[in-house]
Amino acid sequence: MTTKLLVRNIDDDIALALKQRGAANGRSAEAEHREILRAALQRPTRRSLVDVLTSMPNVGLDSDFDCRSA
């Protein structure tokens, strides 16, 4: 599903920056606006704590991380 979105009362310098950013990325200002909105509003899939912990490399000794021995 797609929806039209009209943005009004944008400062000229913001509109120009959007056009320049779009051009730098090979996109129109409208396409750049869509990408900015998508990146800002679509959150990445959250990983579970178990996934994060099991992906950590097994390096060092347990004593390396013991702050009580310092």
DSSP string, 7-40: -----HHHHHHHHHHHHHTTS-HHHHHHHHHHHH
- Residue 26 belongs to a domain: yes
- Residue 1 belongs to a domain: no
Is pLDDT of 69 > 70?
Answer: no
- Residue 2 belongs to a domain: no
State the chain's maximal CA–CA distance in angstroms: 61
Report d(CA 28, CA 49) in Å as an integer.
Answer: 40
Is this prediction's pTM over 0.85? no
State the pLDDT at residue 43: 82
- How buried is 67 (Cβ within 10 angstroms: 0-12 exposed, 13-18 middle, 19+ buried)? exposed
Range of the domain at 36: 12-56
- Residue 3 belongs to a domain: no
pLDDT tens, position by position, 10-61: 999 999 999 999 999 999 999 999 999 999 999 888 899 999 999 999 888 8
Higher pLDDT, 49 or 2: 49
